Amino acid sequence: MAEDEIVDVSITADDPAWLAEFTHKLVEDELVACGNVIPGIRSIYRWEGRIHDDAQALVVLHTRASLVSAIIERADAEHPDETPQVLAVPVVDAHPGYRQWVLDSTRG
């Protein structure tokens, strides 16, 4: 991906407070421009042969494509789950001013 492409990265966690603090650190370190924490989602999934139905929180992070690997590394190091859900999806189009703000707010 090109240096100036932006993506949304989603991460889930059981604890919304932990997810908000993690997001705060990512913003401080200029890995993301911002994150929208959405508490109160319900995740239904299979893990280690069992089906789980858990309350979780979700954050949607707005960042550069070039920073996704650093975000994944941080999640691996700090997330309480053994295998955290970290998914990056390309932003196909965006308001030009918002796109530029994401780029200006993150490490280039």
Report residue 78 as tokens. 């700090």
State residue 4's pLDDT score.
82
Domain count, the chain: 1
Flag whether 79 is in a domain: yes
In-domain check, residue 1? no
Mean pLDDT per 10-residue segment, the chain (108 residues): 84 98 98 98 96 98 97 98 97 96 95
Question: What pLDDT score does 2 carry?
Answer: 61
Task: Please check whether residue 15 lies inside any domain of the structure.
Answer: yes
- Minimal CA–CA distance to 75: which of 63, 5, 55? 63
Rounded to two decimals, what is the model's pTM? Answer: 0.94
Domain of 44, in residue numbers: 6-104
pLDDT at 1: 53
Helix (H, G, I), strand (E, B) or coil at 107: coil
- Domain CATH code at residue 36: 3.30.70.120
DSSP state of 2: -
